[in-house]
Amino acid sequence: MPHDVTMPQLGMAQDAGKIVSWLKSPGDAVDKGDALFEVETDKATMEVEAQASGFLTSVTAAEGEDVPVGAVIARISDSAEDDTLAAPAGPDDSADLPAGKSVTMPQLGMAQDSGLLVNWLKSPGDAVAADDVLFEVETDKSTMEVAAGSDGYLAATLAEAGEDVPVGGQVAIISAEKPAKTVTRSVKSALATPSAKEPEAKATVAPAKAAPKPAAPQAKGGRILASPKARRLALEQGLDLSLLAEAGHPQPYHMADLETLRAMPAKAPAQTAAAASRCLTAEIGADGFAGFADWAATAHGLTDADALLAGLAGASMSVPCVVAIARFGQQHSYAVPATRSLSGITRTDDAPDLILRDLRGTPLRHIAMGADTAPALTVMTGATGLTITLECAPDQLDAQAAITLLATFAGRMEQPLRHLL
């Protein structure tokens, strides 16, 4: 089955990316995980990997071209001869919308094509600052808060809570001046509005009856599929998600399903409750890593910033170890040697002992994703420096080890050179 290749969103404020170079040519065979092309934004230049195996076809974006986030730029097909043109993507501008800065659905993972708008935290007409949280978005992997990105007024909301919005789709508009009239829409109403380019007669034709939506598949082996936020709140509020499964409600479960669950009779509590995850947060006054990376490149020729980041993280726990650097759906693992030598850090395919999510430069200020397969450190831009969160299961790190790991890593990020002495 063909797989569309889209321009990823490497930062919350990014609305386009420049194709630096194609690393595969049309007709080339590619494997899942192969580097397809390099993309440049205001923040970084990164390689984008193939999310499926097949043949690269239907390339529609040239090197040096700026492409909107979410736009289809190529296709991975079952055969090299498939040259079907990919459908262009991008926001659907409407003349009756207020002027201002568009806020789009972010791409929180490379394989993500849409996000569920969980809740609006601002109302139409409200004054907002760039760092104010505008809404919550939920995917199968995480639930995150999305900031406004600019100062102004919330002039339009173009999706309702509980609706899925395509990646890159317009969610809101921030105007510089207080709007005389605000716009409130849903994704469904926007799809139902006939295009202005169509003949008027077509707008009066009754739409065909939609086919019934197939029920979402149920998990095998008795595992409950639910978003991290829904799972966390259910645990905090003593709600049993298995009651939804027993009643036949389709999975995965999201925030809206918790209301249904609250109305259902409670199930007798199990003898042993699942242990909650540990979540610790540290704040430091300055990000010393950028200057450290420049020094390492100039003085020692160490140009792989992710390897340096892995070295600081790995040195904060027992070494040797494997540290995975994760950034918007891409993850690379590094083996950190026992000598803690920065030049001895190498790429590896081994399973990580520690995951480091680098979300600096994004509007994210809070994260609660729950325990992963390994302890996870998340680095975000704070009010003055950095906010660093550690999440882990109790069987991964005891309380003292978790405190030591977070405190040590925070110190290294604030003053890297001092910790190398």
Domain spans of the chain, in order of start: 3-77, 101-192, 225-262, 278-420
Same topology, domains 101-192 and 278-420? Answer is: no
Mean pLDDT of 304-321: 87
CATH entry, 3-77, from 3.40.50.720, 2.60.15.10, 2.40.50.100, 1.10.520.10: 2.40.50.100
Class for the domain spanning 101-192: mainly beta
The pTM assigned to this predicted structure is 0.40
Q: Which of 117-121, 370-374, 409-413 has the highest mean pLDDT?
A: 409-413
Cα 98 from Cα 321, distance rounded (Å): 53
153 pLDDT more than 90: yes
Q: What pLDDT does residue 221 have?
A: 40
Q: 133 is written with which tokens?
A: 């949280």
Confidence grade of residue 341 (pLDDT, cut at 50, 70, 90): confident
Q: What pLDDT does residue 372 have?
A: 82
Q: Whole-number mean pLDDT of the chain? A: 78
Cα 69 from Cα 76, distance rounded (Å): 18
Q: What pLDDT does residue 275 have?
A: 47
Q: How buried is 392 (Cβ within 10 angstroms: 0-12 exposed, 13-18 middle, 19+ buried)?
A: buried
What is the distance in angstroms between the CA of the first residue and the CA of the last residue of the chain? 54
Which CATH architecture is the domain 278-420 placed in? 2-Layer Sandwich (3.30)
Picking from 3, 119, 103, the residue whose alpha carbon sits closest to that of residue 55 is: 3
